[in-house]
Amino acid sequence: MKKNTDNYIFAYYQQIKDGSVTVGVWVRKVYEYIVNGLQNKAFFFDQKKANHAVNWIERHCFHTEGELAPGALKLELWQKAFLSVLFGVVDADGNRQFREVLLVIARKNGKTLFAAAIVRYIWSTDGFGTRCFTVAPKLDQAELSYNNIWVMTTLDPEYQQKFAESRVLDSSRRKMNPDDPTMEKHRQTDLYIPGTNSTVKKIALNARKSDGFNPSITLCDEIASWQGDSGLKQYEVMKSGMGARKQSILLSITTAGYVNDGIYDELLKRSTRFLNGDSKEKRLLPVLYMIDDVDKWNDINELKKSNPNLGVSVSVDYLLEEIAIAEGSLSKRNEFMVKYACIKQNSSAAWLDSKVIENSIVTGLTLDDFKGCYCVAGIDLSRTTDLTAACIVVERDGISYVFTKFWMPGERVEEMTQRDGIPYNIYLQKGYLNTSGDNFIDYNDCFNWFKELIEKYELMPLKCGFDRYNSQYLINDMSNYGFHMDSVYQGTNLSPVIDECEGLLRDGKLKIVENDVMKMHMYDSALKVDAETMRKRLVKVSTYVHIDGMAALLDALCVKQKWSSEVGQQLKNQGR
């Protein structure tokens, strides 16, 4: 293979070999495969095609937001090498060798902009009848690359010149120049070049409506977030539509994710088999920028492997700040592993580490210590045959204290002890848990506890959050008594509340008055993260555990946050 400064594949491979750039094992393997394949003439290198793609993109593609906008896109060596492989490595007939491409790369590394540039290049240069698609689970996500393509187009001086010429009028205010057929148009349903009948369309996952596509390129954005069966079907539909074209590309660009048994898992299995030499595939190109050693997830040198644009679009200081946040939180660590280390995580991960939980527990306090204080309350009603939880959050001197109460049907204590492996009898003896009813929870016991807070301890719950799951009777009784009841939906809408709760616990500003049942629920709480929005919701760490106490606490913190402008000052209990 000719060694010149324009051969970006060779230049990048040389830097990989001599250690000038740090890459992971998978990137090293894919470039070894490419270089060996070129040397063995398994496929060939067309320098002209490779350089055309690189030069065209640097000349016609632009930053669309941020400090660098609207400047021209300046490609890094890893990007030039990737483009050279994609467009310059060809088969014996001169067609692109690689048709199915997976690029896994960390966030903040210019992924969306790079993808848009590749699609724009094909849209503009692949000839008559080019069909480009940006695909994502939701239409607004598919629009990210789609909009970048159009904004890039409007920033191109060639487009601006054609646009200006199309607006020149004569003395009769008629156009002097007919519309240039090469001038791109933004129609209602697509981006369109009349002269070549070439289009770019955005679509959301819907395999049933995707038959009949004949793509020149399909951009599968954030494929790690494509859910199970629907994602697999959409991918296969777009792949099957490639058969009519000799150079069609199915390009998936993504970070890692949380979705199990989806198309990302399938592609990753195929990719690693291919790179390990255990596959006869010839058209697959997996470029996997991910760390090798998960134990070094917070090591900047290791993170260079998943962040090839480190020091360019993502700064070392930014990653160090994100590392500091992730080191203090299990959930944030999992999020970091996905976003910046490109290591797939399970959809649910334990929320709080043991140090945070143990440090939050306080002893020696009783309700008598807070007589006459304002507070907020939360109730998790659960099912009448199971555990029910309630709590109050009362603040003093800038510290919020949580008192919890739990009820269980009396006749079910032994059964649930056997089922859950939890010593509920001991918790009953210690007063951490109370029986209520025989086989069903008697919600009057919960109501009576709240009345006791007011009548015996002079505690005044200003707002009470409750889940919508059960017992309208209890809610009606409490409302009639005078409690301000507020329904709380336990979903990803509670992300800000979850973040505030964790922050307060870590800062030592939220204390849990000793209750072993509540502590157990803290250990058994997990967070399920939406791979698209990164919003989270409370879930169980496993099927048969309980998290009712934490759900009640989030209900209370939710109404505290929601009504802070109205009752925030009272809840500080200054002078009480």
Which element (helix H / strand E) includes 17? helix 8-18
The confidence score (pLDDT) of residue 347 equals 57
Predicted confidence (pLDDT) per residue in 103-151, tens digit: 999 999 999 999 999 999 999 999 999 999 999 988 998 999 999 999 9
For domain 354-571, which architecture applies?
Answer: 2-Layer Sandwich (3.30)
Percent of the chain with pLDDT over 70: 95
User: Any bridge partners for residue 254, and if so which?
Assistant: 104
Q: Are 111 and 76 in contact (CB under 8 A)?
A: no
Q: From the CB of residue 287, how many other CB atoms can be counted at a distance below 10 Å?
A: 25
User: Closest Cα to residue 79, out of 44, 49, 103?
Assistant: 103
84, 247 Cβ separation under 8 angstroms:
no
Query: How many whole angstroms separate alpha carbon 558 and alpha carbon 486?
Result: 10
Nearest 5°: the CA angle 124, 128, 129 is: 95
Give mean pLDDT, residues 188-203. Answer: 96
Q: How is 110-147 classified by DSSP, letter by letter?
A: SHHHHHHHHHHHHHHHS-TT-EEEEEESSHHHHHHHHH
Q: What is the pTM of this model?
A: 0.72
Element (H, E) at 571: helix 564-571
Q: Provide the edge-to-edge strand list for the sheet that holds 131-136.
A: 185-186, 191-193, 198-204, 131-136, 217-221, 249-254, 100-104, 284-288
List, for residues 53-88, the tens digit of each pLDDT value.
999 999 999 999 989 999 999 999 999 999 999 999
Give CA–CA dist 520/133, Å, rounded: 49
User: What was the pLDDT predicted at 209?
Assistant: 59
Per-residue confidence at 2, pLDDT binned at 50, 70, 90?
Answer: very low
**Host H or E run for residue 529:** strand 525-529
Our CA angle for 254, 104, 131, nearest 5°, is 55
Residue among 285, 264, 344, 265 at smallest CA distance from 27: 285
Q: Model confidence at 366, in pLDDT bands (50, 70, 90)?
A: very high
What does the alpha-carbon distance between residue 323 and residue 332 come to, in Å, rounded to a whole number?
A: 9
Average pLDDT over residues 461-469: 88
Domain limits, the chain: 8-339, 354-571
Cα 533 from Cα 233, distance rounded (Å): 22
Query: For 8-339, which CATH superfamily applies?
Result: P-loop containing nucleotide triphosphate hydrolases (3.40.50.300)
Place of tokens 């951009």: 219
